[in-house]
Amino acid sequence: MDTRRHFLKGVLASGAAITTAAVAPPVCARETHNRPADALGLLYDATLCVGCKACLTACKTANGLAPEFSTADHLWDTPLDTSAYTFNLIKMYRNGTMETKDAEVNGYAFMQTSCMHCADPSCVSACPVSAMTKDPVTGIVAYDPDACVGCRYCVVACPFGIPKYQYDSPTGKIGKCELCRHRYKDGHYSACAEVCPTGATLYGKSSDLLAEAKRRIALKPGSLTRYPRGRISGPDQSYEAPVGKYLQHVYGEKEYGGTQVLKLSGVAFDKVGMPNLPPTSSAATSETIQHSLYGGMLMPIAVLGVLGFIAKRNVHDEDDSAGNGKGEK
């Protein structure tokens, strides 16, 4: 019994010594990361979208994704939401008589849904095995199925509900848009932008796309302008068309610390399914909390302190018992 008591007292003494010796460094709040200078992305302009869903079909073809049926006849690929087999979806907003496109009242509008390629992605921050990574040059948030352990932390962490798990497979993986990075080596780019007939989905450097988005919202509704198609810096495929009614808001410029996929709309973004998000990423907040707790070994020392307190109390209890003649001889 003496041995056990000495051991516990030793633990207490060591804990106290470590606590005294440890000097916690000042904890700095981690800033939200910015987009890389050459970040790549998409600009989706809902006022140009005609809802043809060519982008959805091209995305499936480019990524070898199986169709998903929501009708009894199983004739058409009709996914109702993004999934591990549908990385890009066009959703529709409807109100009242649906007479006017891009009008909130008695109108209708489209909105595209896919990975936003956040400047500071929480899926990357949450992944314990670095299966989700952000390229330091292009900023593309990529997924490595070989590294993935299927924990689905990324699914929970994403504020846009984008990474989806293959629940129908015993060795399920995550599915999400990787900006068609596998097509670049053949001179291609995002399939959704390549096929979009109106340029509603446009591919390019995020900085160029942001400048183009700001140019558009500054134009007078009804005036004529040229809209590029395909890639913003590629061969000229532009056409002239009247300017729609834009909200004075480029979604993704600031939301969540900025995203590489940007959006324009005539209908309030929260009405077309885009979440209201602060200008900081939750990755910055959670990593700051994590580093505050573990910085300078504060959390482990606190845990050791609590364990020490419990051990000390038990040793006292034992001593008291021994003193009462009920304990060891």
Residue from 12, 89, 115, 272 touching ligand SF4 (CB under 6 A): that is 115
CB 282, CB 30: distance < 8 Å: no
Give the Å distances, CA to CA, from 117 to 43, 83, 84, 201, 257.
12, 17, 17, 15, 11
Nearer to ligand SF4, 115 or 264 (CB): 115
Residue 131 binds ligand SF4 (CB under 6 A) = no
Burial of 70 (0-12, 13-18, 19+ CB in 10 A): exposed
Cα 241 from Cα 211, distance rounded (Å): 19
CA distance readout (Å), 147 to 8, 46, 130, 133? 42, 36, 7, 11
Task: Figure out which of the listed residues 86, 190, 206, 265 binds ligand SF4, where binding follows CB under 6 A.
Answer: 190
* Paired strand residues for 195: none
List of residues 6+ apart from 323 with CB closer than 8 A: none
The nearer residue to ligand SF4, 15 or 164, going by C-beta atoms, is 164
Distance CA 329, CA 76 (A): 84
Question: Of the listed pieces 67-75, 171-179, 219-227, 237-245, which binds ligand SF4 according to CB under 6 A?
Answer: 171-179
| Residue 200-229 contact track with ligand SF4, rule CB under 6 A, x = bound | xx----------------------------
Q: How many residues bind ligand SF4 (CB under 6 A)?
A: 42
Site string for ligand SF4, 150-169 (x = CB under 6 A): --------x-x-xx------
Contact set for ligand SF4, span 225-254 (CB under 6 A): none
Q: At 214, give phi and psi (nearest 5°).
A: -70, -35
Question: Please, what is the minimum distance in Å from the beta carbon of residue 311 to ligand SF4?
Answer: 43
Q: Which stretches of the chain are assigned E, i.e. beta strand?
A: 40-45, 89-94, 100-101, 107-113, 132-134, 141-143, 164-165, 174-175, 201-205, 224-227, 239-242, 261-264
Please identify which residue in the block is written with the tokens 């995550």: 174
Nearest-approach distance from CB 63 to ligand SF4, in angstroms: 5
Q: Which stretch binds ligand SF4 (CB under 6 A): 71-79, 107-115, 289-297, 317-325?
A: 107-115
**Which of 53, 173, 214, 254 is close enough to bind ligand SF4 by CB under 6 A?**
53
| 3 state SS of 283 | helix
12 vs 132 by CB, closer to ligand SF4 = 132
Binding-site ranges for ligand SF4 (CB under 6 A):
49-55, 58-59, 62-63, 87-88, 90, 110, 112, 114-118, 121-123, 141, 158, 160, 162-163, 176-177, 179-180, 190-192, 195-198, 200-201
